[in-house]
Amino acid sequence: MQKGKASLWFDHPSYLMETACIAGNKEGEGPLGSVIDQIEPDATFGAPSWEEAESVMQKRTANLALEKNDLCSTDIRYLFAGDLLGQLIATSFGTAGLRIPMFGLYGACSSIAEALCLGSMCIDAGHADRVMVLASSHYASAEKEFRFPLGYGNQRPSSATWTVTGCGTLILSGSRGKSKVKISGITTGRAIDPGIWDSMNMGAAMAPAAWDTIRQNFEDFQVNESWYDQIITGDLGKIGTQILLDFMSADGCDIRNKHTDCGLVIYDNDAQDTHSGGSGCGCAALVLCSYILPHLADGTWRRVLFLPTGALLSTISYNEGQNIPGICHGVILESTGGTQS
Amino acid sequence: MQKGKASLWFDHPSYLMETACIAGNKEGEGPLGSVIDQIEPDATFGAPSWEEAESVMQKRTANLALEKNDLCSTDIRYLFAGDLLGQLIATSFGTAGLRIPMFGLYGACSSIAEALCLGSMCIDAGHADRVMVLASSHYASAEKEFRFPLGYGNQRPSSATWTVTGCGTLILSGSRGKSKVKISGITTGRAIDPGIWDSMNMGAAMAPAAWDTIRQNFEDFQVNESWYDQIITGDLGKIGTQILLDFMSADGCDIRNKHTDCGLVIYDNDAQDTHSGGSGCGCAALVLCSYILPHLADGTWRRVLFLPTGALLSTISYNEGQNIPGICHGVILESTGGTQS
């Protein structure tokens, strides 16, 4: 059912049937290390290049989600997937072997939310009984694509974030089964250009998009922050989070006590030297699978607004002096014991 | 309604309410020059870089589609859009000003079909009353991203295609209105890796994907080539077309008399020195708006299977010696006077 300008409330919600997540060593040493399905100590995942390493991680994560549920890839009707690399090569090579009808998505670090939005729209409509959504990032392939060669050992400003090596996969189903979490609604974000041009401060570039999507969500559903137990943004990091809280506060809306950011949860940022926090498509995807969903499944939280954010830039756009537009998609996750509005 | 493994037949088809297309000078000098809405003689579109030129072209095309229908951007619920550039920068900057909730898509040259699939799924489900789909490519931004600097004046093998400078936009609606063409069904493609590694022969890399999607479409709808008046692939060009026809023929299926390829229609390939044909997201999008839809609207054709194809590669993947997987999505377009199965 359409709600307001940019939101949907699903007559037929999607149930999160299975998840799988795999990450690198650094993420394994972070606060979520013990709840991530698999930690791969070899950053290359046995592959000859960083990009292929990311593809191997995707393939392994997708297969793990299938195996956990005794499914094979032909049981999945559609795959919604994306990554950070130009022309989505991690995804193209990571998922080609699955032979699932695929929609390739690019929403930068918001990709897992874009995939959840489209996947749950598909389930709501009865266009599929079961879909897979997937997003990944790899520290080394992202550094190579967006920043500096690893061997160069550049200094990073404290506003910079650390790209997460990780992949999260979810299988959504129209049948409740034993699922303890459902997607009840979504708010689709718009590209917002706040005039930020510093690629080492992506939190600042994305915070206005997060603010825009939260406001739109509140307006479309005629609710305020009290409706949610948690409001969890994607990877704004320390600086972006502060900007978002300031913006919300200026709107007379205090979300400090119920806001978390995936980029602040994935690492111990001080001890692990990750500066402003974690980022990358894998950041929100990993935190969703290993941290947010378990808290919904055990009833700690009843309703969460999950808001992965993306910074829409490429090396070409920022080398040519262009700004960094941001985008943020909102997904309403509910414990299946929760009440509907 | 789900059909077979990878197809949908829509209970609520999408009506093509409006289209707009803008192209460059070379496309203007081709066979479709007189039926493309606007030909822009300045390849830079007044912008300081090739990427920004492509963004200006997108913005102008989107606005033209709105203006033709006396709509403003707030009348559009969702935008499904993509381009060829890394991290979709032509789209991010081209559409940010529209402020329409956006799903960024990457399906290489198949992007317009991916957008039509998701847009029409959205309309069928009642998730939107009106959506915009858009895809673009620009010869100079694509050469810069994928091949050689223009000033280098490299020789091109005869298997190479010429990236179209063009953008096509369509507005889909759930209401028939005066629309003469509808999207009745879709078949979503899978990434297929045929083991081709030559980036100057993308037709060969994509032909197996086109073959796979056509076979799946026939199987899912329990039809054969006789069900369609035309089967129109995206941008296989001369070589890819021959491979597709050979593959189909080996299946006992002769589509020669009803097959066309957008890459063979957009240019006079011999006179315009475009070798194997046109390519790029803009190729199928332009040919759809300026050539295919008018033939459906005037009743020349009743039912067309539109099959844009994409080559899933980046400079990184092919410089690292990886293959080029292909993907192809099928869209069933019908004249609104046509009969349903």
Nearest-CA neighbor of A202 among A68, A37, A53, A314?
A314
CA angle at B119 for the pair B114 and B123, rounded to the nearest 5°: 150
Distances (CA, A) of B146 to A13, A321, B137, B150, B209: 42, 21, 12, 11, 21
pLDDT of residue B269: 87
Question: Is residue A151 within 8 Å of A144, Cβ to Cβ?
Answer: no
Question: What tokens were used for A279?
Answer: 């980022």
What percent of chain B has a predicted confidence (pLDDT) above 90?
95
Question: Is residue A8 within 8 Å of A185, Cβ to Cβ?
Answer: yes
CA angle at B288 for the pair B71 and B149, rounded to the nearest 5°: 100
pLDDT, one tens digit per residue, over B77-110 is: 999 999 999 999 999 999 999 999 999 999 999 9
User: Which positions in chain B touch A316 (Cβ < 8 Å)?
Assistant: 51, 85-86, 89, 145
User: Which positions in chain A touch B193 (Cβ < 8 Å)?
Assistant: 93, 96-97
pLDDT of residue A270: 85
User: Which positions in chain A touch B82 (Cβ < 8 Å)?
Assistant: 106
Question: Is residue A125 within 8 Å of B124, Cβ to Cβ?
Answer: yes
For residue B84, the chain A residue with the least C-alpha distance is A87
What percent of chain A has a predicted confidence (pLDDT) above 90?
95
Interatomic CA distance for residues A129 and A78, integer angstroms: 9
Mean per-residue pLDDT of chain A: 96
A vs B, Cβ pairs < 8 A, gives: 192
pLDDT of residue A269: 87
Nearest-CA neighbor of A303 among A237, A217, A245, A188?
A217
Per-residue pLDDT at A339 exceeds 50: no
B340 pLDDT band, cuts 50/70/90, is very low
Nearest-CA neighbor of B192 among B174, B212, B168, B222?
B212
Question: Is residue A82 within 8 Å of A119, Cβ to Cβ?
Answer: no
pLDDT of residue B268: 96
pLDDT of residue B339: 45
Cα torsion B198, B203, B206, B211: sign: negative
Q: How far is B239 from chain A (nearest CA, A)?
A: 23
Nearest-CA neighbor of A41 among A57, A61, A63?
A57
User: Which positions in chain B touch A145 (Cβ < 8 Å)?
Assistant: 86, 316
Residue B49 DSSP one-character state: S
Per-residue pLDDT at A340 exceeds 70: no
Question: Is residue B110 within 8 Å of B240, Cβ to Cβ?
Answer: no
The DSSP H or E segment spanning A171 is strand A166-173
pLDDT of residue B220: 98
pLDDT, one tens digit per residue, over A270-323 is: 899 999 999 999 999 999 999 999 999 999 999 999 999 999 999 999 899 999
Q: How far is A312 from chain B (nearest CA, A)?
A: 6
Q: How far is B181 from chain A (nearest CA, A)?
A: 22
User: Which positions in chain B touch A78 (Cβ < 8 Å)?
Assistant: 188
- Residue of A7, A8, A103, A123 to mutate when probing chain B, most B C-beta within 10 A: A103
Per-residue pLDDT at A38 exceeds 80: yes
Its ipTM equals 0.97
Q: Do A106 and B99 count as a contact with CB atoms less than 8 A apart?
A: no
What's the pTM?
0.97
Question: Is residue B90 within 8 Å of B58, Cβ to Cβ?
Answer: yes
pLDDT of residue A341: 39
Q: Do A127 and B8 count as a contact with CB atoms less than 8 A apart?
A: yes
Residue A36 DSSP one-character state: S
Q: Do B105 and A106 count as a contact with CB atoms less than 8 A apart?
A: yes
Interatomic CA distance for residues A213 and A217, integer angstroms: 6
Per-residue pLDDT at B341 exceeds 90: no
For residue B83, the chain A residue with the least C-alpha distance is A87
Q: What is the mean pLDDT of residues A157-170?
A: 97
Distances (CA, A) of B155 to B93, B111, B149, B235, B267: 32, 28, 12, 21, 19
pLDDT of residue B338: 47
